[in-house]
Amino acid sequence: MDRIINFMNELSPDAMSLLERRYNTLRSLSYIQPAGRRQLAEYTNMTEREARSETDQLKKQGLIQSDACGMRLTPEGMKVLLELYEAVSAISDKREMELTLASALNIKDVSIVSRDADQKNMVYRDMGARAAKCFQKYAADISSAAVTGHKTVEYMTNSRFISGRHVDLTIYPIRTAQLNSEDDNANNNCARLARKMGAKFHLLHLGEDLTINEIEKRYQTPGVQEAVAGAMGADVIISGVNSLNGSPVFNSMSVRARESLIQEDACCELLGNFLKKDGKQINNPPIYSTAVEELGAAKVFMLIAGGTSSVDAVLALACRLKNMHLITDETTAGALIRSK
């Protein structure tokens, strides 16, 4: 593949540029369909004239269609999009940068997608798609996986690259007992991923507005204990990480508690654990939560994190979790390399 790509690039750089442009148009439309030309133009930073030219050509090729609701990919268009993924990834090869960053952070692996997550929300979807491709490879050799409720994990579980028939695989949710929206979404991510992969799954239902005593009783029930034990013994754990201001746990705290964490230089939160940039934990792990060290027991800890606000968080976790496979964007990767 590499030799063919290099030959094509030397023979006709314009053709390779056109391939990338058509792929990006199909990919963008798949995220927002059905959509009109103006919406597509705004989403991709094209002019309406450029969007019209691209979509007219894709219509002629039978890759997109339009109706009263807007444009959408045809089944053939979706097939072509999935097939183009590997080719375009090879064209915009980031492997040297990935290896450099993995070595700098001393972690298992790094996967980088193009562009800047701070500039385009679409890049988070790209990270989700890349994470899905990575997990599909891991899934062939594991018996269990666990997911948190982070939005980046949701993008992965919604990816069209998640599929298959993994009847021997079991998916578990990882959540805290703090009953926030992120915890609730862990069950959703777990069920969605398992159903799309044909895998088994266990959910962790705790209820709402529970007292500490009520939560403690719930954690003593066989169903909850089974789900927690399964998550902690998972071969692969998939998560995002929260910057301090983006943490639902942090934002639910009292003003005094938040000020204390800020004064102690907390930079991120994961499952109720607050860390400094050097990886040192500031607080005790919350009751019935998951300690950072437990995440390191998995064969692979997949971290899907992008945007410059996540740089310190990634550095903190990289100090603690050497089993990390980081999925991030190009701009964040550059910032991480420069920080080392």
Q: Mean pLDDT in runs of 10 for the chain (340 residues)?
A: 48 65 88 91 86 93 93 91 73 78 95 83 89 93 96 94 92 77 82 96 79 78 89 96 92 92 95 94 79 93 95 96 96 91
Closest CA to 332 of 303, 314, 304, 308: 308
Q: Computed from CA positions of residues 44, 50, 51, 55, in that sequence, does the dihedral angle turn out positive or negative? A: negative
- Give the pLDDT confidence score for residue 289 in this predicted structure: 77
The pLDDT of residue 7 is 47
- pTM of the full structure: 0.81
Q: Exposed, middle or buried: residue 277 (CB in 10 Å: 0-12, 13-18, 19+)? A: middle
d(CA 299, CA 197): 20
Q: How far apart are CA 104 and CA 101, in angstroms?
A: 5
Six-digit token string for 180: 């926030």
- Classify domain 2-91 at the CATH topology level: Arc Repressor Mutant, subunit A (1.10.10)
Q: What was the pLDDT predicted at 209?
A: 65
Task: Look at residue 1 in the predicted model and tell me its pLDDT.
Answer: 44
Task: Give ranges for CATH 1.10.10.10 in the chain.
Answer: 2-91
> Around Cβ 220, how many Cβ atoms within 10 Å?
8
Task: Reply yes or no on domain 95-339 having CATH 3.90.50.10.
Answer: no
Provide φ and ψ at 118, rounded to 5°: -70, -25
- The pLDDT assigned to 90 comes to 60
Sheet of 266-270: strand order equals 242-243, 266-270, 273-276
Assign residue 144 a region: left if phi > 0, alpha if psi is -120 to 50, beta otherwise? beta
CATH 3.40.50.1360 region(s) of the chain? 95-339
Within its chain, how far is the Cα of 116 from the centroid? 15
